[in-house]
Chains A and B, each alone.
Chain A
């Protein structure tokens, strides 16, 4: 009996090759997308599991208070002062605490140097993470000049992993010796997370070395908080996250400086496995859930597709069912028969899907620098369960529909059956197109928003600014004037400006200023940017009132430990925060700096520029203060006149080589800085578009099949209408309208849903698209037009057929 069921199933597939192919391809496509989404989710949420103690390792993080104002809710970094305090207070109870900080240095072996992001870590890092040592051991960081390299870095510098004892020099000044070489950290570690920029463990140096490198004291700081300030805690098996959380809460209460409480609301403890996803937690976007949901949606569309096509097809088999029933089959037996068929199809589809995924994974890994794989041992139960569920869910309705009729009815009355499931089929068509339109609307809105972000970025001359970075080195600083003069002498260079930050660089240097001296209640937070006066002209920033800064005017230039009153340029938003309405009224107004450190007490506004989104991208517009402070310049911005840019760039490189021969030039166009973050937005939308395209394609396949079926069902009616004089056009319209109704109903639900869903995305942006209503309408219209295009051919062919054919065999 079971064998017989399988035999029938395969024979039916062979007999209806086209239908079978459509069914299998559609289902396979849906399954492939679903499984891939599941694999991604699984991969991303199972990072770092290979570390022996991964279940005992935790990262510390901060929950943002309103004062942080950089658009994140939480981040798994803490002030570098926290680690040592925890160690001092609870060193006996917990197993280990280690901090990491990352800074970029020119790392050279002799004359060959690379700019490298070096991870400075407490020695305990090597206790917490059991790296795979190729040379040396976990004691390497105990010496303040010891280094740990990973395999690739060792090979890059020395051509061998046998590098212990070799010397590397940082910024041409500080010598370190390699004491250990570890195997490259696997890609599925949060250190290599594609979501966290530049976290790779290539070179590990002891945190103690930072004392001489940049005056960083080992006890850490309360004031600084950067994305690199990770602190890891390893607990003994007897203690858990709650215990650690309690210690952190206590620590916050007792020790957190008042100032910091405005930006840090509390501490949290996360298991290590969460670290890879921390960036999504930070911006409050549940990316993994979204991917899983999208995958599930596509799978549902595929199932509905199958159900519809199978229903249509099975009605052609009512005669078979009638015969079987006449000969004594009961409904249960027939149900089993039809379900076996749909299970067979689901299984074939899953094989196809798995084959597609096996082909896709290497490409995907390559594109995204991941090491995903389809591990059959782990995923088999899930794949089988998915197959069975899909087979049953998709096959149950057609099986039930076709097997429930009495044998006489089944043998005699073919047409009647089609109508009974009409509401169900319409609902399913609606569901498919609703999901597709929903995704389409998301894609459209995200796309247009991204375009808007891009468009907004053109307030700065993106194509014409060439930036030279890594200037913040003591050795380079004295040569900046020479560099500037020589660069400005080049024919293709229209201007050279130095600054601490350039547009689109994601860095927030913020400070509180008060509008009344000594009155803390008038304080507000301002982003600060150090610049040379040419910055405004290089970046086309107009002056609305007052004047630009000038190096020859004494009060304009900050002299550390000396200046008490400094002239600055501010943007309009700063004036707004001060309660000043016009740029003109702002000139001459003052801002006050409270607190102990430094000599600077007062700022005088001498110039006002418009509010521009300097951080760009998804950031909110912020109040900015531009001041002139000759040191602390990290970047030179060169305004390159269009024309022979290549020549100009090579001239610039020649100048650099002459002036600063011992450091390699690090040049890039402003475009590239922008694209670095913008590409993330773009890729996100490409992924979304991929999901939407698959869903839409499936919905169209389904509709195509269903239109064929429905047209067949209505043959008689169409014949009658034609005999009575309906034109082909009217008939086609009738059929098209029949399918438009459920699609339109679905849109009425899907588009508002999409509207709310995109709000999550739009909320990230300061400069939002005005109203997504038009886009929603466009997405809806696209879905409807595609639905029409799918059925129009059918409808037209059937509408043109000779009515006699329709009525002949009644």
Chain B
């Protein structure tokens, strides 16, 4: 039962936040020094194009970069209202098309990694917390601590070195084979899916290793905490099998903090996994952001930041609605 007056207030708050996000995302990329018309290739192969000053002015006018900030803002907002994200400056495509091409990679990679780490982390966490302080618990906790002492990019590079460069079990880079020939029909689609899975195994493993720890520790602590609850003692006394106790009794009781943590991670999905995408060359939103920052591609940066921050806001809004239903006192949340 939602408290009267609470829902409009919450909605209002998130609407204001969304407006603030839209404005912020316009200004942040434009603070960057440099301009989108002078790219840099790096490696001493820097722009050889002797772009003339006249042409540069022509191009600035074409992309409305010569307009005053408020004019640019006005056209950005009016385009946004019409659902137009503009044209990329560094790539000859509409921003919306760029995002649509990359969204499946990011969603596929991050959602599958998130689900795997949630399930695996929770399962291991319950196992560890079942007999707190025993060997299994201590082992799992130590492994978790060691894993969380390694930055994500090092996990990624480690996996790449071992399984792609060393053993050559997995491809060096990319999200799929280039210009593949899988044949047609069901077998073709199956081969295509297998190919993508083969490419995404290492990136997804990296993400699972980097984020399963959170689920594991939350589940472990919550499980350890309920071990002395009377209902659990009763359930045990009734002689229910352990598996049934775990799934039917313990899991529902520890679900709330796990869901909170899941929501927190879910919100970040649209931001892409910049580091992992960079290491494995997965053409997702994170890699697009990385390249857009270097190229000062304002329209792309705007849209990317907008997409990912709106994603967080939507998930947060949903979470708060759930909280309102679940708990009118609104207890402390995990930050």
**Is this pair of chains taken from one and the same complex?**
no
Which B residues are closer than 8 A to A by beta carbons?
none
Which A residues are closer than 8 A to B by beta carbons?
none
